[in-house]
Amino acid sequence: MELEFLKNYYENPSNKVHYSSFSYSDLFAQLENKQADLYQKQEGNNHKGMGIHAHSFQKLDSVTSIWGKASYVNQRQGGIRWNNSLDFDKIRPYVIADSTAATTKFQSYAFQGGYAKELNKWSLGASLGYQANMGYRTRDPRPKSISSTIDLKMGLGYDIYKNWSIDVYTLLSKYTQNTSVKFANEASQASLYQMQGLGTWNNYFSNKSSKVTFEELGYEIGFNIAQNKAKNFAIGASFGQYNLDKLVFSSMGINEGGDDINKLKKEQLKIHALKLFHWNQHQLGLRWQTNITNHSGIDILYSNNDKYLIRLMEKENYKFEDNSHTIEGFYSFTAPHYTLSITPYFKIQQTIEQLKETGVAQKFQYQFLGLTFDYYQKLNTKSALKLTPTFTYRNVSNSSNMLQTETRKESIQEWLKQDYKYNSTNYIHWGTSATYQFEPINFPMVYVTFDWNAIQFKTKENNQNINITIGVTF
């Protein structure tokens, strides 16, 4: 729980020299089953799959550490509608879409490695990560999407006075996605839409292109000022900017490499501060975090000519804002045979999504109240039990819907109304995690975890997620 409380500080790889006082490796397999009654149509209503993960952190000596991660995930994502692309949160709202509900077969491979070292008063670190995703469908329409992300992060720290330090880091990121849609039945084909936000689409390129490419370059910079390696106090901030281009391929295209029809500029500012107190077997903490996210989307207009294209102008039209402020407490008590921790939090959040040209918009204001318990009990020298119940209540204090859905297609009206219901309904989130770990004779520590989470909406719909994990730590 303490490492989760310090996650902002460890965003800088140079701070991970002392991430753990001992070396460890973790290999585990996970089964997932998620079912939803109320959901956003572009994300689907059921996920079933499995994953294999490996994590390792190794202290080479008192001032040098290395770490690595690797994973493979295989899922069936069902009930997805109005989205034929991957990585929805990264490219939204500019997906290629159709109205057919379908199941996507999804696979993901991810690798990451890092290195950190202290040199007198200096510390330095770097990490490199790569992730490749693939999604496809076996019924018309048959989209196939392949995406890749490369992240390079570098950090530097300096001990400025006694146990005070300052550090800076930068992240460089490159993302690419290629999506193409094919039909086995040439006589009957669903319409393909190049979406532009809140149920609107590009009138010219929809149904004229079944192949799209997304390309993104981005960076993030951040800093921390900490006391005692953030064990007592830390304050920091980061700023990131990412620029996404969407290109389509059509017979009337100007460029062989595709014609860009949308651009998305994404900016995110994060500010955080924490204070920890230690006495005897007790630890008390307080953390505050602010996240400010702004997305600005540009529509690129072309001449309405079926023989050839002429690029006319760029128009900023789409806007998305997500601002949140969170205050979180932390208390832990450590005894010889058990550990207890409690983490309450309160969060306020506001999201706004709108199209400037027509004035259509959605706005939501939320308050979240949550509490997490974590109890770890040693049963004997070779076994232990861990229980982690959680509770969150979401209150929607304001929701406005200015979408003019009556002017849209009936299937789009249904989509927008369901998404609005999902975003505007109060809910209670319950969850619990139970882990039993034991050490067989002549074998490393084995553990089994059962996770159950449920969301109960005020409108009586229920969503559930169950995960079962089997792993070994050595």
Please, which pLDDT band fits residue 458 given cuts at 50, 70 and 90? Answer: very high
| DSSP assigned state of 310 | -
pLDDT of residue 306: 65
On whether the CB atoms of residues 427 and 458 are closer than 8 A, the answer is yes
Instruction: Supply φ then ψ for residue 365, to 5 degrees.
Output: -125, 130
Q: Which residue has the higher pLDDT, 251 or 288?
A: 288
CA distance 349 to 325: 7
Q: Is the pLDDT of residue 110 over 70?
A: yes
**Mean pLDDT in residue range 209-227:** 96
pLDDT of residue 86: 96
**Mean pLDDT in residue range 465-473:** 98
Please, which pLDDT band fits residue 1 given cuts at 50, 70 and 90? Answer: low
Number of continuous H segments (helices) and E segments (strands) in the chain: 3, 21
pLDDT of residue 4: 84
Q: Is the pLDDT of residue 250 over 90?
A: no
pLDDT of residue 415: 94
Of residues 87, 117, 80, 86, the one with CA closest to residue 101: 80
Q: Is the pLDDT of residue 78 over 90?
A: yes
Q: Which of 1-15, 155-169, 247-261, 284-298 is the least confident region?
A: 247-261
- Residue-range definition of the domain harbouring residue 269: 2-473
On whether the CB atoms of residues 253 and 302 are closer than 8 A, the answer is no
Residues 6+ positions from 467 with CB-CB distance below 8 Å: 30, 31, 32, 33, 449, 450, 451
Please state the pTM of the whole predicted model. 0.93
CA distance 303 to 312: 6
Q: Is the pLDDT of residue 307 over 80?
A: no
Number of domains in the chain: 1
Q: Is the pLDDT of residue 322 over 90?
A: yes
Q: Is the pLDDT of residue 254 over 80?
A: no
pLDDT of residue 154: 98
CA distance 174 to 121: 33
CA distance 128 to 242: 18
Q: What SS3 class is residue 267?
A: strand
Mean pLDDT across the chain: 94
CATH code of the domain in which 226 resides: 2.40.170
pLDDT of residue 62: 92
**Mean pLDDT in residue range 236-240:** 98
pLDDT of residue 185: 86
**Mean pLDDT in residue range 223-250:** 95
**Mean pLDDT in residue range 198-217:** 93
Q: Is the pLDDT of residue 397 over 90?
A: yes
Residues 6+ positions from 351 with CB-CB distance below 8 Å: 320, 321, 322, 323, 362, 363, 364, 423
Cα R_g (the chain), whole angstroms: 24
Q: Is the pLDDT of residue 157 over 70?
A: yes
**Mean pLDDT in residue range 9-22:** 95
CA distance 237 to 229: 16
Q: For a pLDDT cut of 70, what percent of the chain falls above it?
A: 98
